[in-house]
Amino acid sequence: MNISDWRVDYDKYKLDASSLNHDPILQFKDWFAQAKVDGHDEPNAMVLATCGNDMIPDCRMVLLKEIDDNQFVFYTNYNSHKGKAIAENPNASLLFYWEKSQRQVRISGVLKKGDADKAKAYFASRPLNSQISAIASPQSEEIELETLFKNVENILDSNQIECPPHWGSYYLKPFKFEFWQGQPGRLHDRITYQNEQENWIIKRIAP
């Protein structure tokens, strides 16, 4: 398979440091809103990268559910592979890629667990099938398909559907952002925000 000549021209928007918001959270919200306008079905889809004690980086897609107190919130099973890695090393990175906008945002920060009562309230608001799967699945553990279906059947029979204690939110408090805007000739715009003593330092870096 030869994909060496597969290229896309980037020419949709420009990124000028003089027009940026001095608050990266507000800048992110501006780009997120534009991603919705540009027709992305799931603009809240993001890559979560973690690295536990084994020092092997790992990444997966998760969904941003909220920006609360300037922190990025997602929900998951605390006993999952990602949950175990976060327990060992709370440093993590997020990546948003909006193809139709020719933009990406990289965010580095530190994760902590969110409030359990808030997680229960959000859990109750999810579609029933999503609630059941969160209870039935020992996420990241080896399992036979028949066993998984049996777990679902047992939950339906018991009619006991409530938020498991091992399921909840993580809050990522960012200390670095990079906003990337594709440009012609691969001279892409890249602007970073680095938190230094509670101040955001803005820099342009080379493509």
The residue annotated as part of the active site, out of 7, 106, 186, 204, is 186
**Residue 191: CA count within 13 A, CB half-sphere:** 19
Question: If DSSP codes are grouped into helix, strand and coil, which group holds residue 96?
Answer: strand
Determine phi and psi for 32, rounding to 5 degrees. Answer: -60, -45
Q: Is 186 a catalytic residue?
A: yes
- For the chain, the maximum distance between any two Cα atoms, rounded to a whole number of angstroms, is 60
> What's the distance, Cα to Cα, between the start and end of the chain in Å?
28
What is the phi/psi pair of residue 125, to 5°? -85, -10
The pair phi, psi for residue 96, each rounded to 5°, is -105, 130
Write the single-letter amino acid at 148.
L
Please give the backbone phi and psi of residue 53, each rounded to the nearest 5 degrees, phi first: -65, -20
Task: Tell me which residues are annotated as active site.
Answer: 186
